[in-house]
């Protein structure tokens, strides 16, 4: 179900949503050894209309988040999403739970792709009936 939700979200990014990427994501992509997977991931990030740069402010915010128990890369992803004022979509349920406990210290929404897709679909269904 997560894969179907991700596909639906990416489809919407092709139509009318804005996909945001970041230097942090690019760094992680650079670590991918499998060439087929690397190409698939690059194709997805090519849909992005905005890119968040990795800079000192991002590092500072990530350090604040790390002091609350979030690991370094996750903290950088959250800080990037905050900078973009974007919804942070992840399949990492432990991260979602950890960040949810930190509210209101996190200024963005973090959710699983299934939850986001179902919520949007429900909202759109209600607005078309």
**Domain 2-128 sits in CATH 3.40.50.1010:** yes
Stretches where the chain sits below pLDDT 70 are: 103-104, 129
**Structure confidence at residue 96 (pLDDT):** 92
* Residues 74 and 92 sit within 8 Å (Cβ to Cβ): yes
pLDDT digits (tens, 9 = 90+) for 91-126: 999 999 888 887 667 889 999 999 999 998 888 888
Any residues with CB less than 8 A from the CB of 57 and at least 6 apart, and which? 83
**Structure confidence at residue 20 (pLDDT):** 97
**Structure confidence at residue 129 (pLDDT):** 64
Question: So where are the chain's domains?
Answer: 2-128
**Structure confidence at residue 102 (pLDDT):** 76
Q: Rg of the Cα trace of the chain?
A: 15
**Structure confidence at residue 18 (pLDDT):** 94
Across the strands, what pairs with 51? 21
Neighbours of 24 (CB within 10 A): 23
pTM: 0.87
Cα–Cα distance between 108 and 99 in angstroms, integer? Answer: 10
Nearest alpha-carbon partner for 74 in 56, 88, 57: 88
């Amino acid at each position: 179900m997560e894969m179907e939700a991700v596909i639906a979200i990416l489809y919407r990014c092709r139509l009318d949503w804005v996909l945001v990427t970041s230097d942090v994501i690019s760094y992680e992509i650079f670590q991918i050894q499998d060439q087929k997977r690397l190409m698939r991931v690059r194709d997805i990030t090519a849909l992005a209309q905005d890119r968040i740069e990795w800079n000192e402010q991002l590092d500072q915010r990530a350090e604040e988040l790390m002091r609350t128990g979030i690991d370094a890369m996750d903290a950088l992803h959250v800080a990037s999403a905050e900078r973009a004022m974007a919804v942070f979509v992840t399949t990492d349920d432990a991260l979602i739970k950890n960040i949810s406990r930190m509210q209101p210290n996190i200024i963005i929404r973090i959710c699983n792709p299934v939850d986001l897709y179902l919520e949007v679909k429900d909202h759109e269904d209600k607005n078309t009936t």
